[in-house]
Amino acid sequence: MKTKVFLFICLFIGMAVTTSSAQDKANKSSQGWNTYSDLAIPVFCDGELVDVLYGDLDFHYVIRSFKNGLPYVETDQLKGELASHDTGEKFRFRRTDKWEATLNWSWTCTISYNFIGDMGTIYSGKIYLNYSADPIQRTFEHLNCH
């Protein structure tokens, strides 16, 4: 019985690895996991600093080269738990970063985020960064602080 269970586990692990590898080749992409440690994220509402959130975040990235005529696209999905410096409130954190390079290698990044606190505080929004401008141009499409 133990042998059968072991063989089934090996079979499922082998299928998962093969599927992931085949998907990377079909999409001309690569993917993986990483961690940001000791992160500090300032939170602004109405142009005023209201809090700083601290913690570690795990993120999954997918990198595609030369998709739809663009030389580089990377999507990062970040998840984790952060703590408020001011109140100690714990925040579940979701954020998506989409990095794009144009043909002349100017970089842009669109950041969508959602912080949900265990005491009812919610911060969400979308930020657009243009790295080809000097200084970096930041456009806040919408910010919600509750």
Query: Model-level pTM?
Result: 0.64
Q: Which long-range contacts (CB under 8 A, 24 or more apart) does 19-28 make?
A: 27/64, 27/67, 28/64, 28/65, 28/66, 28/67
Comparing 116 with 27, the larger pLDDT belongs to 116
CB 113 within 8 A of CB 143: no
- What is the tens place of the pLDDT at every residue in 54-71? 998 888 888 877 656 656
Residue 15: predicted pLDDT: 39
Spell out where the chain has E strands: 29-45, 48-67, 70-84, 90-101, 107-117, 122-130, 137-145
Q: 8-12, 48-52, 120-124: lowest mean pLDDT where? A: 8-12
Which tens digit of pLDDT belongs to each residue from 109-145? 888 888 899 999 998 888 888 888 788 887 877 678 8
Q: What percent of the chain has pLDDT over 90?
A: 12
| pLDDT tens readout for residues 72-112 | 788 888 888 999 998 999 999 888 888 888 777 788 888 88
**Judging by DSSP bridges, how do beta strands 122-130 and 90-101 pair with one another?**
unpaired
Neighbours of 31 (CB within 10 A): 15
pLDDT at 47 over 90: no
